[in-house]
């Protein structure tokens, strides 16, 4: 899966700016969590289910908890792991966590 990675607060602002041109789907992943590992696998296997116009952005929570906290602040959605957050026009329109982190759940939501 071609992930874009998020590893700085300035990039977070850039992704929010970009959300005015295309939807951005943030995937918050904990590298120490088996539920998150399963979610990552589901996302990678189901990438072809996601609309091509959606940018998919990977955030390693353990390496960048500050960015995760900033993302929670910007969206108003409390931190969970694993977690998907769809941002469009600077606003979070949809989120999912834990076992709901899968491409098919996102596809059911109409952008």
Q: What is the pLDDT of residue 60?
A: 96
Count the neighbouring beta carbons within 10 Å of the beta carbon of residue 88: 17
Domain of residue 38 covers 4-108
Cα of 46 vs its chain's centroid, Å: 14
- Residue 36: which of 105, 101, 106 has the closest Cα? 101
Show the tokens assigned to 45: 């296997």
Query: What is the structure's pLDDT at 91?
Result: 97
pLDDT value of residue 110: 62
Mind listing the pLDDT tens digit of every residue in the chain (111 residues)?
578 999 999 999 999 999 999 999 999 999 999 999 999 999 999 888 888 889 999 999 999 999 999 999 999 999 999 999 999 999 999 999 998 888 877 677 666
- The answer to whether the CB of 111 falls within 8 A of the CB of 93 is yes
- Structure tokens, 68: 């995760």
What is residue 104's predicted lDDT score, i.e. its pLDDT? 79
Give me the pLDDT at residue 3, please: 85
Whether pTM > 0.75 for this model: the answer is yes
In the block, tokens 């329109």 appear at 93
CATH code at position 11: 3.40.30.10
- Give me the number of domains the chain comprises: 1
Per-residue pLDDT at 50 = 86
- Taking every pair of Cα atoms in the chain, the longest distance, rounded to a whole number of angstroms, is 34
């Amino acid at each position: 899966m071609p992930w874009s990675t998020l590893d700085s607060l300035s990039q977070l602002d850039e992704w929010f700016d970009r959300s005015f041109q295309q939807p951005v789907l943030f995937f918050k992943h904990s590298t120490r969590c088996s539920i998150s590992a399963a979610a990552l696998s589901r996302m990678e296997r189901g990438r072809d289910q996601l609309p091509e116009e959606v940018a998919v952005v990977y955030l390693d929570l353990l390496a960048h908890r500050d960015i995760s906290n900033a993302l929670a602040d910007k969206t108003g959605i409390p931190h969970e792991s694993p977690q998907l957050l769809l941002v469009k026009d600077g606003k979070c329109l949809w989120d999912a966590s834990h076992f709901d982190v899968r491409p098919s759940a996102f596809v059911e939501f109409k952008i």
